[in-house]
Amino acid sequence: MNTAPEDEVMCQCSGTRKSNIQALFEQGMDIEAISRWTGALSGCGGCEWDIAEFLETLGEQKKNSL
């Protein structure tokens, strides 16, 4: 089964999807708030670097669009 990139699960422990992380970032949440809201980053920690990198990319995109 192929999923759209935005539907990719970024945190296997909580089932948090990329689109959810992006929506929360766009609402002004930082990585700690996203973790508290979704449960991401609170399990095994295997997603930490991927989520941090994704949020960094989103931040750069936001900065470049201003």
* Tens place of pLDDT per residue across the chain (66 aa): 556 777 899 999 999 999 999 999 999 999 999 999 999 999 998 999 999 999 999 999 989 987
CATH (domain of 55): 1.10.10
**DSSP assignment, residue 55?**
H
1 found inside a domain: no
**Domain span holding position 52:** 12-65
Query: Can you give the pTM of this predicted structure?
Result: 0.88
4 found inside a domain: no
Instruction: Record the tokens describing residue 53, joined without a space.
Output: 């990198």
6 found inside a domain: no
- Give yes or no for a contact between 27 and 19, defined as CB atoms under 8 angstroms apart: no
Q: Kindly report the backbone phi and psi dihedral angles of residue 36, in degrees, each rounded to the nearest multiple of 5, phi listed first.
A: -65, -40
5 found inside a domain: no
The predicted structure's pLDDT at residue 46: 93
Based on the structure, what is the number of domains in the chain? 1
For Cα atoms 3, 53, 6, give the angle at the middle one, nearest 5 degrees: 20
